[in-house]
Structure 1
């Protein structure tokens, strides 16, 4: 486990790239569950709120690109 992910974002990026599709889905599901739990515990948590804002933006972007490809 990385102690300071900010200093090792390249390592995390490489680890993500090495995941199988089902493992990548598992990572996303676990991140969602953890941030959802944090937000339920503290609705004012800025980190959790930021995660969900970014997730919504990325989902919108990806879905828009997929619609334009059809």
Structure 2
């Protein structure tokens, strides 16, 4: 069985800070070193986090195709 990991390329919690390239790249490297077969990002640039119980304030996101290309 091959497993992949969805990268946190968006911010859903203001206390967690904005999504940054450095953070996403570090997590992707750890995933590769840990044996994950793939990493994923979604193309949901605008998410209503309020409906999931998080703050309804707009949060940052790294654009998916640019993020994958850079990785």
TM-score with structure 2 setting the length: 0.30
Higher relative contact order (CA 8 A, sep 6+): 2
TM-score with structure 1 setting the length: 0.30
Q: Which has the higher strand share?
A: 2
Q: Which has the higher helix share?
A: 1
